[in-house]
Structure 1
Amino acid sequence: MSQTLPALVTEAAALSVAGAGLRRYEMGTAVIGAGADATVVIVESGDNPRVCGVQDSSKVLLCGDPIPDLRSRFDFESPLLIHVFVRLDRGCLSLGIARCRGSALPRAGFNQCELELARPLSRAVLDAVRPVPAPGPVPDVDWVNDVATDPIRAMESFILGWFPAEESESAGDESTAGGLDGLPEALATFYRLARLRPAILRFPDPVLKPPRRASCSLGDRLVFAEWCGAAKDWSIPWPLDNQAGTDPTVWFTEDPYDPWFTDDPYDPNAEATPEEEPLSRFLLQFTLNGAMSSAPYGARTYAMPTERFAPLWNILRPVPLSPFAYTHERFFVAPGLLARVQGDEEKTIMGFAALHRGTLTPLLEHGFRWSTFHG
Structure 2
Amino acid sequence: MQNRVLPLSKLQTDPKGEMLVFGEENQGGFFWSLLWTLDGAEADPTVWFREYDEPAIAEQEPLNGFLIQFSLYEASMGAEYRAVSHSLTGGQVDRLAEELLPVPLLPFWPGAPTRFYVAPGLVLHVSDEGGDNGFSAWAGASHRSALAPLADVPVEWDRFDG
What TM-score range do you get, normalising by the shorter chain?
0.7 to 0.9
Give the structure 1 partner of residue 42 of structure 2.
Answer: 245
TM-score (norm 1): 0.38
Q: How far apart, CA to CA, are the structure 2 residues paired with 1:336 and 1:282?
A: 21
Does residue 126 of structure 2 align to residue 341 of structure 1?
A: yes
Q: Secondary structure at the match of 1:233?
A: strand
Evaluate the alpha carbon distance shift between residue 238 and residue 306 of structure 1 in structure 2; reply closer, same or farther with a 3 A threshold. closer
> Across the two proteins, how many residue pairs are aligned to each other?
157
Give the structure 1 partner of residue 12 of structure 2.
Answer: 213
Does residue 94 of structure 2 align to residue 332 of structure 1?
A: no
Once the 2 structures are TM-superposed, how far is the Cα of residue 287 of structure 1 from its aligned partner? 1.0
Q: How far apart, CA to CA, are the structure 1 residues paired with 2:89 and 2:71?
A: 29
- Opposite residue 230 of structure 1, the aligned amino acid is G
Q: How far apart, CA to CA, are the structure 1 residues paired with 2:31 and 2:23?
A: 6
TM-score (norm 2): 0.81
1:3-18 → structure 2 map (5 Å cutoff):
none
Identity of aligned residues (%): 37
Q: How far apart, CA to CA, are the structure 2 residues paired with 1:255 and 1:284?
A: 24
Give the structure 1 partner of residue 55 of structure 2.
Answer: 271
Q: Secondary structure at the match of 1:363?
A: helix
Q: How far apart, CA to CA, are the structure 1 residues paired with 2:99 and 2:107?
A: 20
Alignment deviations for residues 302-353 of structure 1 (CA, whole Å, 9 cap, x no partner): 4233324444443111112222211211111111111112348x94432211
Give the structure 2 partner of residue 234 of structure 1.
Answer: 32
Q: How far apart, CA to CA, are the structure 2 residues paired with 1:216 and 1:255?
A: 9
Q: How far apart, CA to CA, are the structure 2 residues paired with 1:271 and 1:310?
A: 33
Evaluate the alpha carbon distance shift between residue 314 and residue 364 of structure 1 in structure 2; reply closer, same or farther with a 3 A threshold. closer
1:1-375 → structure 2 map (5 Å cutoff):
203-210=1-8, 211-214=10-13, 216-217=15-16, 219=18, 221-239=19-37, 241-242=39-40, 245-255=42-52, 271-325=55-109, 326-343=111-128, 347-375=134-162
Q: How far apart, CA to CA, are the structure 2 residues paired with 1:305 and 1:224?
A: 34
- Opposite residue 122 of structure 2, the aligned amino acid is L
Q: How far apart, CA to CA, are the structure 1 residues paired with 2:31 and 2:17?
A: 14
Give the structure 2 partner of residue 85 of structure 1.
Answer: none
Give the structure 2 partner of residue 260 of structure 1.
Answer: none
Q: Please say which structure displays the higher CA radius of gyration.
A: 1
Once the 2 structures are TM-superposed, how far is the Cα of residue 216 of structure 1 from its aligned partner? 5.0
Once the 2 structures are TM-superposed, how far is the Cα of residue 374 of structure 1 from its aligned partner? 1.4
Q: How far apart, CA to CA, are the structure 2 residues paired with 1:213 and 1:223?
A: 6
Q: How far apart, CA to CA, are the structure 2 residues paired with 1:253 and 1:348?
A: 22
